[in-house]
Amino acid sequence: MKRVITYGTFDLLHYGHINLLRRAKALGDYLIVAVSTDEFNWNSKHKKCYFSYEQRKALVEAVRYVDLVIPEENWEQKVTDMHEYHIDTFVIGDDWEGKFDFLKDEGVEVVYLPRTPEISSTQIKKDLNQK
């Protein structure tokens, strides 16, 4: 069974997220999604999400392509996650192109998927602010 993992915030779930999850699942048989916790978002990126971790987790878990949701609590956990969850393929949006190549040293395939153009939660929040 080919195991795939991706990481993200998934605030204000939209069809761009769905595109990513669909394509990530298509690369294997079992998809794990690590959803960033509120503390991680605040401490590392000074980012405050609209929806709490519990709400974001519940929505991501409801997506048919997702098999398991785990919390992302820090930047460092990725290396241990690859081994703990027996990951074959790490997937992330191509705005991170090259940044996770180091995971190949852990024996995983690293795939950068193109973002769905014209949609992002950050942009949604910005656009609403301007109206």
Among 4, 35, 59, 103, binds other proteins (CB under 8 A): 59
Euclidean distance between the first and the last CA atom of the chain, given in angstroms as a whole number: 48
Specify whether the CB–CB gap between 104 and 110 falls below 8 A: yes
Complex with other proteins: residue 46 or 131, whichever CB lies closer:
131
In three-state secondary structure terms, 108 is: coil
Cα–Cα dist 69/19, whole Å: 17
64 binds other proteins (CB under 8 A): yes
Tell me how crowded residue 50 is: count the other CB atoms within 10 A of its CB.
Answer: 11
Tell me the window of 8-16, 35-43, 73-81, 97-105 that interacts with other proteins (CB under 8 A).
8-16
Complex with other proteins: residue 57 or 78, whichever CB lies closer:
57
Cα atoms in the Cβ-side hemisphere of radius 13 Å centred on 112? 10
Complex with other proteins: residue 36 or 81, whichever CB lies closer:
36
Would residue 47 show up in a list of annotated catalytic residues for this protein? yes
Cα–Cα dist 40/70, whole Å: 13
63 binds other proteins (CB under 8 A): yes
Cα–Cα dist 110/104, whole Å: 6
Would residue 45 show up in a list of annotated catalytic residues for this protein? yes
12 binds other proteins (CB under 8 A): yes
Active-site choice (2, 45, 104, 125): 45
Interface positions with other proteins (CB under 8 A): 12-15, 18-19, 21-22, 50-51, 55, 58-59, 62-65, 119, 124-125, 128-129, 131
Catalytic residues: 45, 47
